[in-house]
Amino acid sequence: MDDLVTEVLINGVAIPIGVAVLFATFFSWCLGPVPGGRIASAAIGVAFLAGYSALFTWPDFPPVSSGQKLVFIVLAGVVVGAVIDLIKSPALLKYLAIILWPAAIIGWLGWRQITNLTFETGVTLGLLFVAAVFMLDRLANWGTRPSHASVVLLVASIGASFIAFIGASGSLSQSYAILAASAGGFLLCNWPKPRFTFGTAALMAGGGAFLGLATSIVLFSEVHLISFALLLLVFLAPAGAQKLPWQHSPALGPIMVGVVGAIPVIVGTAVAIIIAGDSFELPF
Amino acid sequence: MKLIKLLSIAAVAATLSFGYQPSAKAGETFALDKPHTQIKFSVNRGGWSRVAGWFTKFDGSINFDEANVGNSSVSATIDTASLDTGFAARNKHLRSPAFFNVKEFPTMTFKSTKIEKTGAKTGKMTGNLTLLGVTKPVTLDVVFNRKAPHPRNKMMFAGFTATGKINRADYGMKFLIRAVSNEVQIEIQALSVKK
């Protein structure tokens, strides 16, 4: 079991944190503080890919399963997002990405369901799309305060990891843990002093990873969706934190966002545990 | 004249070659008798013990040519959601995207490509196993147990045992690969009834 702990802690946590810090610094150092700072948030996606491939290995192309497709979604998010970030006026492209990117992700992962569409699946996919646009829009909105957006992604991913674990989806739980570590690594570079923007690369790669995993949870797992849906409230945490003291403090502001974001995580996890009841047992 | 002769020969040859159809397999066709067929798997868990499971829903047919075993063939489709290990929480985990990913890949299939006789009642069956959307060749050791009519209903039954192993990582099933063995042992007890 030591191997298992090593596998989870090294590959799933230490590698993504290290890679996120390294790449954010590297982008900034190579390209200078302005363009480098704009694409530094691509480090979240690079870190996720490093942790994911360390844990599950890099998949062949073309990918077959949703887990394999996720790698190429994040890779595309890193590349396309970084290009948009490097263009001087990315606002229109950024908002196009907020609409088109969820459609592309849900469409690719749920292609089989879309081609055999039932009313129930159609409603599920529709709600998932609306939730995804909301999530990316909020991340883009808080991106003006990069540490706030990173905290939101970090806290939401931790919550998703807990809820997926309780819902007997170990690999999805681990994947969310990798995403949390990646966002956490980027946050380390941006806290207490904000250095890099939470750009389109973070939105498309980090947000894309969150959404890809969420699509897998909705379509392919037995995770209870009400507890999972509560995590959407995490994306409103910066708005809630505005009513708290120290909201403008570079050091304490992100912590306040984390505290507010932790509330729906705790509630969602509690709901998941209550719903799982006696059926929640460690499988191995 | 020579040209006409050549054309005639070519036409006859073409007719013969295109009209040729391999003779229908000489063997008898059997369907799996589900209540008396078990498709089982087991993995090593952390070096302490083996955990076994089985599938309860499947379909399959065997074309068995006893006189010329090489002409025989086997195909089977297994409903992956029907897996059972005798422990509900573990079943749930095994059905999740981490392992069999049953909602995304509801079936796994096997189709034999080559069967060779190795002894009076033994053979090796190679075929393509498709699991999680990945197709890989697998070889199973097969024992032909018995072919005889049932004493009461007089239906012809044939029984086989097949054993083998696969590496789950080959099919992309890599979750907890250090805690739960990569090698999966397979044992199939197949009773089949003549169609």
Residues A13-46 as b or e (16 or more Cβ within 10 Å = b): bbbbbbbbbbbbbebbeeeeeeebbbbbbbbbbb
Q: Which of A17-26, B18-27, B131-140 is predicted with the least confidence, judged by mean pLDDT?
A: B18-27
B22 band by pLDDT with thresholds 50, 70 and 90: very low
pLDDT at B11: 46
> What confidence tens digit (pLDDT) does each residue in A36-65 have?
788 899 999 999 999 999 888 888 889 989
Tell me whether residues B175 and A284 touch, CB distance under 8 A. no
- How much is the pTM? 0.85
Reported ipTM exceeds the 0.90 cut: no
Q: Which of B45, B50, B93, B168 to mutate to test the interface with A (most CBs of A within 10 A)?
A: B93
Position B16 pLDDT exceeds 80? no
More confident residue, B6 or A110: A110
Q: How many helices (H) and strands (E) would you count in chain A?
A: 15, 0
> What confidence tens digit (pLDDT) does each residue in A199-229 have?
899 999 999 999 999 999 999 998 888 999 9
Minimum Cα–Cα distance from A67: chain B residue: B97
Tell me whether residues A221 and B134 touch, CB distance under 8 A. no
Q: Where are the domains of chain B?
A: 25-194
Residues on chain B touching A1 (C-beta within 8 angstroms): 46, 179
Position B13 pLDDT exceeds 80? no
> What confidence tens digit (pLDDT) does each residue in B98-129 have?
899 999 999 999 999 999 999 999 999 999 99
The fold adopted by the segment(s) B25-194 is: Lipocalin (2.40.128)
Q: Which of B87, B132, B180 sits opposite A65 (nearest CB)?
A: B132
